[in-house]
Amino acid sequence: MKSIFTLFALFLFSLYSTAQMTGSFQQTISFNEADYNFTRTLYYFVPTDYDSNQSYKLVVGFRGGPHSNAGEFRTQLSFLADSINAIIVCPENEGHFWNEEGLTKQLFKYTVDTTQNIYNIDPDFIYLTGLSYGGRHAVIVSMDTDAGAIPNLRGVIPFAAGLQSEAQPDYADITNFPPACICIGLSDNQDFKNVSNSLHNDLTNNGGTSLLNEISGVGHTVAFPSYPDEMMECFNFIESQYPTTSTTVEITQPENLIKIFPNPARQQIRFSFPTTITPREIYITDISGKVILAVPLTASTIDISNLSSGIKNLVIVGKSKRISQSFSVLR
């Protein structure tokens, strides 16, 4: 049970944040909990057009190193606000890196609780990522049961996971692991490359779900131009592991509400739909219904050059309806 101090802090934070807090900001919270009695700064990016009547995905990011640079990582992840309609939060993780790193699971738990007390978060769409030692901590939170139950995560994206992270997963509970997209720059230190390869191989050999995303010309950093594209590849992989991305009931329409042109197409399609529909998700599926590409909510064109030939479906999910339109990819 949360302490009176924490509840009061969250109440004050809620009053202030719901009225003013969008865009980039930070908030210091005292987690006066029996299993986590620390004060930590949470670095947020909230869409400037945040609407409390809509639910949002949540992306939690752990930055590496024993120093505090969670704000920088928040900024690097902020593109996801538009790309997947998400709120970003990067908790300061200073002080938990070697002798108390198991406390990271509690930090994750109470960071999510704090955010859900303020914003409308869809609990089925919580993602975790991390860079370097933050990647190791993402592995601990999503795959290690020593410090408590594995949280309900949609997916985990460890980037250049810190050394020895392959020793953390408890493979006896691998059925509870979320899909993992393990990213590594091929110009990184060989030790970090070995960790990523071992983690990927151990996950797949034990029946888990993992994609090894190797990135040429990139070292131990996420400060490179194609970082958003690499992250979207990971989100597309994670979403492809689920039969659908929404529980919204599909409503049959007498006419096509989505306009796609050209159709068929080879490289790119343009699309439009009625302004009466406010999209919460846009994605492309194959004919079996498997999600193969997530589309940013602000997009009006889609690059389909990497899709295989055949019939695909463009799906737009609104608050109360789900509409789709098929199109053909030519190769």
Asked if omega into 264 is within 30° of 0 (cis), the reply is yes
pLDDT tens digit string along 231-255? Answer: 988 998 888 888 654 444 444 443 4
272's enclosing H/E stretch is: strand 268-272
Q: What angle in degrees, to the nearest 10, is found between the helix axes of 104-118 and 4-20?
A: 50
**Is 222 in contact with 159 (CB distance < 8 Å)?**
yes
- How do the domains of the chain map onto residue ranges? 4-240, 259-329
Separation between Cα atoms, residue 68 and residue 26, nearest integer Å: 13
Give 126's contacts (C-beta < 8 A, 6+ positions apart).
Answer: 57, 58, 60, 112, 151, 152, 153, 154
pLDDT tens digit string along 255-304? Answer: 458 999 998 898 999 999 888 888 888 999 887 778 889 999 989 999 99
232's enclosing H/E stretch is: helix 227-240
**Is 91 in contact with 118 (CB distance < 8 Å)?**
no
Separation between Cα atoms, residue 218 and residue 151, nearest integer Å: 31
- Estimate to the nearest angstrom the gap between the alpha carbon of 183 and the chain centroid: 14
pLDDT for the residue 10:
52
**Is 93 in contact with 39 (CB distance < 8 Å)?**
no
pTM of the model: 0.73
Give the homologous superfamily in CATH for domain 4-240.
Answer: Alpha/Beta hydrolase fold, catalytic domain (3.40.50.1820)
More confident residue, 91 or 99: 91
57's enclosing H/E stretch is: strand 56-62
Give the mean pLDDT of 106-111.
94
Same fold, 4-240 and 259-329: no
At residue 30's C-alpha, the angle toward residues 96 and 41, to 5°, is 60
DSSP symbols for 304-330:
-TTSPSEEEEEEEE-SS-EEEEEEEE-
Q: Regarding the domain delimited by 259-329, which CATH topology (the fold level of the hierarchy) does it fall under?
A: Immunoglobulin-like (2.60.40)
Separation between Cα atoms, residue 314 and residue 38, nearest integer Å: 46
Q: HSE, CB side, 13 Å, CA atoms: give it for residue 306.
A: 9
132's enclosing H/E stretch is: none
